[in-house]
Structure 1
Amino acid sequence: MEIIQTIIGLGASVMMPIIFFIVSLVFGVRISQAFKAAMYVGIGFVGVSMVITLLLDNLGPASQAMIERVGLNLVVVDTGWPTASTIGWGSAIMPIVVIGFLLINIILLALNLTKTVNIDIFNYWLFLLVGAVIYASSKNFWISIIITYVLFILALIAADKTAPYMQKEFDLKGISFPHLTCLAWVPFGIAINWIVDKIPGVNKIDLNPETISKRFGIIGEPISLGMILGLGIGLLAGYSVPNILTLAINVAAAMLLLPKMINILVEGLIIVRDAAEVKLKKWFPDREFYIGMDTALLIGEPSVLASGLILIPIAILLAFILPGNKVLPFVDLASLMFLLAMVTPFVKRNMFRMILSGTVILICIFYVGTAIGPEYTEAALMSKIEKPEGIQYMTNIVGTATTWIGWLAIKVGDLLQSVFS
């Protein structure tokens, strides 16, 4: 566990190249090529991280300024995914759960019950977070661990099922995404798409980057969309003209640079994927395998980024008007595009349907976050995280605990505890 924690502490940009270098050698890639693949993956993650940080650092203050202008004063505060990941990795269940995940993945692969080799160890926190909240709520160590194992298995199965759609839409052959937070919202996208298809007139609305670019020319290109959205967010935040222009340029830069950084990362992935495909077909002629990766690979898609930006003011409006909502969206407002990452193929990159899906998703998140605020805060305290001054309860809006799956898992944990107590 000390070795695992040390590697995880290095961050994805260092951890993933190490993993990819080892995996490359296992599949017979020459040392020089294995090094190249590992470095491309590492450099890609550094680039993606830099662009995302640029985006978050600019959108975060703008989102907070919008909240201050609206005057929202709600008692369950979104403290963001960095705090959420610390809760997961700091939980008492972490050592047993992490070792269990590695063994479960190996066993399921050996039994041909999954195709996904989940090397996205950094995002194990998504499962650990739910387990930590279940433990805080039920006070039962083993119930929280068992339910967390079940969620991990379900994520592998769902990753297998969604992989063909992701691979086709994003041109990522051999890749799957066992990312529970994003997987949880796929049914919402499918349902919204089905409903819109049944509404005459509305079902003809088609907003995707290509159609927008074709109709509006340069105005419809990703850099122009980023510029326009940045200007709009800056105006809503009440920024001065220089600050509005700075925000607009930075958002446009992210729209242009993020896909390029992801392409570098994918170059490294292709080297490993191709070598793995050859070896695995030789070792297992009738089997197909996927490499499980982070959904950060998906958010470079312009429709995902643009829709995520549009959701920021929508989230603030919903927090204000939803009856019974106690969640104040805050730190994670700048990360809303992740909620739409895996929804995209199921709505055919139609931004109109993506925004509708995102709105329904946010409504669900606000009510789940309101319901589990006390348990989430207790989990944070149990992980030695101090509650910020002036905050009654904590939550995060882009995390697994505030998905419908997270809520259901917490309730199942409470039910099992009442049965066995």
Structure 2
Amino acid sequence: MVVIDYFLSLGSSVFVPLVLILIGLVLRQGVLSSIRSGITVGIGFIGLGLAISLISNTLEPAVNQIVERFSFNLTVIDIGSGAAAGVAFSTLIGALIIPAVFILNLVLLVIGFTKTMNIDIFNYSHYAFTGAVVHLMTGSVVIGVGASLIQATWSLLSADYSAKKVQETLGVDGISIPQGYAASTVPLFSILDKVYDRIPFLRNSKLDLSHLQGRIGMFGDPVIIGAALGIILALLAGYNFVDGANLLMGVVAIMVLFPRMVKIIVEGLLPISEAAKSFFNKRFNGKEVFIGLDSAITLGLPTTQIVGTMLIPITLILAVILPGNKVLPLGDLAFVAFFTCMATIIHNGNILKTIISGVINMIGVLYIASWFAPYFSKLAANSGATDIKGQTTALWNGNVFDFILANIARFGIVGLIVLIVITIPIGLYVKKVTSTPKSAE
């Protein structure tokens, strides 16, 4: 725990650059170039952290005001991803999961079952949560760790599957996104994308930002869109002019600053990407290896920001009208963009497809988070991480991989065997699909 706490205390702005510097040296990038790349990425992550804190400072008060103003009567409180991750890492499984997943990743990379090396250690908390719930259900540490490792494997396979689209959209080769939540949405959004291709209205839709700007000029500019979204949120919150104007400026700042920060990260990653291609071409016959990063690097995409902001009031409405939902979105509501970021990638920035997929996904998130509430509340109580009375959860818990794994692994060793049997053909399928030459696609 002391070693794990030390690594976690470094933060992504220190730990990720250190890992990237090491990777750069291994790839023969050169000492100074490796240091520059790693530190540049670290600067980008510091910038992202400031932009994310802007979301917290700007949007959370408005969200709380909207919830209070409309007196939503829901019994399970969403305490947010930060607290949820803390609960997950404070468990016995959480103490074991970082070295276990890291070793597994290396083994899978060596045997060729994945192309992704996941250095996004801070988001291993998703795997810890699944394992902790399974441990709670079965009483077995082995089954709990096993479920966590299978989820980590699924996330790696999902990252491999979506890697080319991620690289094309962000303009950086050699990266992927195995982040615990984002990876779990790739299957859903990929299936929906194929469904949309069968619906003429959606198949022919060209509603991305460039199309929007071409049709309505300055009204399609991110600054103007951000201002409009800020006004809508201010009206819903019942803000006066001063508070509303501050909210509007905060939303516009988010729309403008995120892309700038992501550009800094991309600047640092490009030399490492080139070094990786050269290294593997020379020594491994062009074998691909992807650096697995946090989904935060996608938040600079305008479609993600627009749809993410629109989904704030939509998610509140869904929470009220969905029969059987118990969750009051609160702690994670300002960060809904994280829940839909991979839809932007899969749907090639199409705003219409992304918002439809986002709504469908948030319905699933609310129901799954409701289902996990009793288990999460018990874990939170055991950890002493929260003193909130009654049941708690987080939208962060609304992870379909968590849900599937927990419901199968609860059957003990039989469930674990079933999950392993399921995972092998999935891995072979992903390997086949991602090995297809572009000319044959």
TM-score (norm 2): 0.90
Corresponding position of 1:414: 410
Which among 394, 397, 403 is matched to residue 396 of structure 1? 394
Corresponding position of 1:158: 158
How far apart, in 2, do the equivalents of 1:99 and 1:133 lie? 19
More RCO (CA 8 Å, sep 6+): 1
1:44-78 deviation per Cα after TM superposition (whole angstroms, max 9, x unaligned): 00001101111221111111111112211211111
Q: Once structures 1 and 2 are overlaid, which stretch shifts more, 374-383 or 77-86?
A: 374-383
Distance 1:156 1:241, change over 3 A: same
Q: Give the total of aligned pairs.
A: 416
1:181-215 deviation per Cα after TM superposition (whole angstroms, max 9, x unaligned): 11222233233333344344455444221111111
How far apart, in 2, do the equivalents of 1:387 and 1:410 lie? 26
1:10-29 deviation per Cα after TM superposition (whole angstroms, max 9, x unaligned): 21111111212222222223
- The question of 1:276 aligning with 2:272 is answered no
Contact 2:202 2:353 in 1 (8 A): no
Counterpart secondary structure, 2:336:
helix
How far apart, in 1, do the equivalents of 2:403 and 2:99 lie? 25
Corresponding position of 1:285: 285
Question: 5+ residue gaps in structure 2?
Answer: 417-441
1:38-117 aligned within 5 A? 38-117=38-117
Contact 1:136 1:382 in 2 (8 A): no
Counterpart secondary structure, 2:387:
coil
Contact 1:208 1:351 in 2 (8 A): yes
Contact 2:172 2:269 in 1 (8 A): no
Contact 1:327 1:370 in 2 (8 A): yes
Question: 5+ residue gaps in structure 1?
Answer: none
- The question of 1:352 aligning with 2:336 is answered no
Q: Once structures 1 and 2 are overlaid, which stretch shifts more, 408-417 or 304-313?
A: 408-417
Distance 1:411 1:419, change over 3 A: closer
1:80-119 deviation per Cα after TM superposition (whole angstroms, max 9, x unaligned): 0101110122111123322111111111111111111111
1:288 to partner: Cα distance: 1.0
Distance 1:203 1:34, change over 3 A: closer
1:257-336 aligned within 5 A? 257-336=257-336
How far apart, in 2, do the equivalents of 1:201 and 1:284 lie? 45
1:115-157 deviation per Cα after TM superposition (whole angstroms, max 9, x unaligned): 1111111211121122122222333221111011111111111
How far apart, in 2, do the equivalents of 1:343 and 1:370 lie? 23
How far apart, in 2, do the equivalents of 1:412 and 1:379 lie? 20
Counterpart secondary structure, 1:291:
strand
Counterpart secondary structure, 1:343:
helix
Counterpart secondary structure, 1:331:
coil
Corresponding position of 2:341: 341
Aligned identity (percent) is 31
How far apart, in 2, do the equivalents of 1:199 and 1:351 lie? 16
How far apart, in 1, do the equivalents of 2:286 and 2:357 lie? 38
Counterpart secondary structure, 2:117:
strand
Corresponding position of 1:370: 370
TM-score (norm 1): 0.94
